[in-house]
Amino acid sequence: MPRDELLILGASGFLGAHVVAAAKSAGWRVVAAARRDGWPSIGGLAPDRRIQWDAERSGARAALLDDVRPAAVVLAAALARVDECEREPARAAALNTELPREVAHLCREGGIRLVHVSTDLVFGARPARAPRYSESDPASPVHVYGRTKAAGEAAVLEEHPAALVVRLPLLYGDSGGRALGASDQLHAALARGERPALFTDEWRTPLEVSNAARALVECLGREERGLLHVAGPERVSRFELGLAVLVARGLGRPEALERVRASTRAELGLAALRPADASLDSTRARALLATPLLGPRAALAAVP
């Protein structure tokens, strides 16, 4: 695909800001749409155009696409906090299911390439058929967030069969000082003098956020459609990821490590809302993509 105008929906989020940077590095002209303005430019790479856009206003979606007329869209906007989705299920359905449905319909009508971002948390209620969940495993969400995201996946592929739905895992990395993502949330909690609890019984295949963004941008230029799992190669617990982050940031001293509490989901009353294992099998993505998908130690060593 020739490098043309790319519209990123949800560009101010943790992932979205990195997708802007990855797309600029790949030569796209980037239009960034988000509810809030003034988010950080990752690596000094700012979008060519910023649009303040309310994802919850249905009419604003068609107007935005008609205004921009992009060659491609990355849909990263969502209501992604599990607790918030539990409190506001109707809003979760509107943003995680109906928004993707409408954007997919508009993209199909306009002949626009669509890459929709989904999550490993569409899994967890039933075990994977193999050690990790592959694209052929049926969704089995345990909470409102997972259910609305799974419904959003189905809606996208029903409305726009040529779209690609990319399931991403737990993301970590630089959030531009906003305490977003697994690693910056941990740093912020420690800076506040807290003793954060990290689960020893929750297993994921985490991916550094800029690594995920580069993979998403690469997907724009490919003809892959349907579902694709893009995740790290290592299955680790939240506790193990936290320790790797601290060591990589030079905080592996005993006094720092002692401030991180090893805990279980049940001890914090979260067993019902947090899957024990949402590990993704990214075999297909590793075969398709030139972008290497790195484990925590390799990724953290590569990021300044």
Q: pLDDT digits over 184-213, tens only?
A: 888 788 878 888 888 999 999 999 999 999
74 part of a folded domain: yes
Q: Is the pLDDT of residue 69 over 90?
A: yes
The amino acid at 275: P
The segment with the largest mean pLDDT, out of 51-55, 62-66, 135-139, 266-270, is: 135-139
262's enclosing H/E stretch is: strand 261-263
How many separate domains does the chain show? 1
- State the SS3 of 125-190: CCCCCCCCECCCCCCCCCCHHHHHHHHHHHHHHHHCCCCEEEEECCEECCCCCCCCHHHHHHHHHH
The structure's pTM equals: 0.94
H or E element in which residue 113 lies: strand 113-119
Instruction: Summarize the confidence of residues 269-286 as an average pLDDT.
Output: 94
Return the CATH number at 155: 3.40.50.720
What is the domain extent for residue 89? Answer: 5-172+207-233+280-294
Residue 93 lies in a domain: yes
272 part of a folded domain: no
Collapsing DSSP to helix, strand or coil, 290 comes out as coil
CA–CA distances in Å: residue 200 to residues 127, 276, 294: 18, 10, 22
Does 38 fall in a domain? yes
Q: Is residue 135 part of a domain?
A: yes
Residue 159 lies in a domain: yes
pLDDT of residue 110: 96
Q: Is 228 helix (H, G, I), strand (E, B) or coil?
A: strand
- Alpha carbons within 13 angstroms on the beta-carbon side of residue 284 total 17
Question: Is pLDDT at 250 greater than 80 in this prediction?
Answer: no
The packing angle between helices 181-191 and 238-248, to 10°, is 70
Q: Tell me the mean pLDDT in the region 158-187.
A: 90
Identify whether 131 is part of a domain.
yes
Q: Is residue 255 part of a domain?
A: no
Which tens digits make up the pLDDT trace of 140-156?
Answer: 999 999 999 999 999 99
The phi and psi torsions of 193 (rounded to 5 degrees) equal 85, 15
Residues forming the active site: 145
At residue 249, does pLDDT exceed 70? no
The DSSP H or E segment spanning 25 is helix 14-25
Q: What is the pLDDT of residue 1?
A: 39
Residue 23 neighbours by CB distance under 10 Å: 28
Q: Rounded to 5 degrees, what are φ and ψ at 261?
A: -95, 130
Closest to 280 measured CA to CA, from 156, 118, 86: 118
C-beta of residue 125 within 8 angstroms of C-beta of residue 176: no
- 258 CB neighbour count, 10 Å cutoff: 9
In which residue are the tokens 């790290």 written? 232
**pLDDT, mean of residues 248-259:** 61
The reported pLDDT for the residue numbered 256 is: 60
Q: What is the pLDDT of residue 257?
A: 67
Closest alpha carbon to 182 in 203, 207, 201: 207
At residue 304, the pLDDT reads: 61
